[in-house]
Amino acid sequence: MRRVALLVAFLFLLLFTSTVLTVVVATSALGDASGDVRLLVGAAAFMLFFTGIWLVGRSVRRMFGPIGDVLEAADRVAGGDYSVRVTARGPGEVRRLGRTFNEMTARIEASDQQRRRLLADVTHELRTPLAVIQGNLEGIADGVYPADEERVGAVLEETRLMARLLDDLQTLSTAEAGALQLAREATDLRELAFEVTSAFAPQAAAAGIRLAASPADETVTIADPFRVRQVLENLVTNALRVTPPGGDVTIAVARAELEAEIAVTDTGPGIPDEELATVFDRYTRSADSGGSGLGLAIARSLVEAHGGTITAARAPGGGTTMRVRLPLEG
């Protein structure tokens, strides 16, 4: 608007100047001058006027041409074409509009692709347990399989698998939408680490893995203990899954200025460098992971809901370190 106002003022000044010059010529104010001089002054007035019109028109085209491109591109986005981009040109504010529009459409396109992948992945994840349940029930109904405890137990286990998957999806979608309700209270992270270690001790012992929580000072933060424990359980579950027999999984708790830090370190093969940036994305998993691929995505969402951060890095001695940082004040 400031540029438009300046252009209008400039055009008005040109009109006023050319009008004054024309009036001067018409009233023979230059009567003492020769006819050539009067003609020259009049021509200069008209040239000044048309030059001003040309400059104003050029400036308007430079301003509103790119805006027209954005409007046309917006119509294409409304029609479902999220790949459209505009060329950032024109005055500074208009270039900024073009860049902002491109960033917006890029985010919309990425969100749409993620939604499509999510739908495809959920369909794939549910298809296997549904097929198992259907096959077993049809076999029982046809008399092919006996309705014994083993057969019914297999069907029940598949229903539990589906229930866990749906619970994970609900938790993830609620957290990402910012609608997750946190029951914040004073939480001792050191005590929480020992509780998780005790809960997973039988599983670790059965796999021949040493699981331990490093001694630490009392580290209290304002957080939802159930959700923080859920994060720890997801991290420990993944660590135990990738650690070979004879390996170690360690939970370390520490204070770092205004943050509390929880580090879960394993001695597994480690995450390849090219996968570290996407390890917390939905359904990111190795071929032999055996999980749903939602555990780390849920962990990230829960940590971010607390205002914290979670990162993955290769451990110095081999393996992976998952590091969670939470604000001490909650």
pLDDT one-digit tens code per residue, 64-78: 667 777 888 888 888
Beta bridge partners, 221, equal 187
**Phi, psi (5° rounding) for residue 268?**
-80, -165
Which residues, other chains included, contact 82 with Cβ-Cβ below 8 Å and sequence gap of 6+? 105, 108, 109, 112
Question: Average pLDDT in the 249-262 region?
Answer: 88
For 296-312, the pLDDT digits (tens) are 888 888 999 889 999 99
Structure tokens at 104: 């917006």
Instruction: Examine the pLDDT at 30 and tell me if it is beyond 50.
Output: no
Rounded Cα gap, residues 234 and 167, in angstroms: 14
Rounded Cα gap, residues 257 and 8, in angstroms: 58
Q: How confident is the model at residue 322 (pLDDT cuts 50, 70, 90)?
A: very high
